[in-house]
Amino acid sequence: MKTSIFLILSIFTQIGTGVAQERPPHEIHAAMLYNFIKYVQWPNEGETGDFVVGVIGDDNVFNTLKQWYDGKPKGSKKYVIKKLGSASESSDCQVVYVGKSKNRDFDTIKSSTAGKSILTITDGNGLGQKGSCINFKVVDGKLKFELNQATVNGSNLKISSQLSSMAILI
């Protein structure tokens, strides 16, 4: 667990110093998304089956996640990285990443995921306040993330204090 926290902190440090800027943004988002998952607890965590990460609106993030994590174990489950064609497909996922090109569809995605244990992660101005669980945000040239505690609680998810301590809390 401490190694993962170190990895997240080192990613943030590298981003701030410009070292990680050699990596494409989609790789940084994919790595951070994967690390966010490690610090979230879902109510059905112990069940077997698939752990579905849906991506809509960013083919580069989808392709990176698919290459790096698809089929890998997550406890008693395995990761399935799925490209979503529409907002309605998001209700079958544990995680939904909404890329910038689909930010306008966030309200529909939010309606599809409401009341379900789905971690929504977005990359758009104001989407944290609109109800995304986690939203990427650039502050003073550094990549940060917002955490909407009310949305997380409404999704019946538990976020570790280590992750929430690094977030901009909403």
Q: What 3-state class would DSSP assign to 65?
A: helix
**Which residue type sits at 59?**
D
Structure confidence at residue 165 (pLDDT)? 95
Structurally, how many domains does the chain consist of?
A: 1
- 118: CATH: 3.40.50.2300
pLDDT tens figures, 85-104: 998 999 999 999 999 999 99
C-alpha–C-alpha distance, residues 14 and 110, integer Å:
32
Residues 6+ apart with CB under 8 A from 1: 38, 162
Which residues in the chain show pLDDT less than 70? 1-21
Residue position matching structure tokens 């079958």: 92
- Domain containing 23 equals 2-169
Q: What 3-state class would DSSP assign to 169?
A: strand
Taking alpha carbons only, the member of 79, 78, 83, 80 closest to residue 62 is 83
Query: pTM for the full model?
Result: 0.87
Other C-beta atoms lying within 10 Å of the C-beta of residue 12? 18
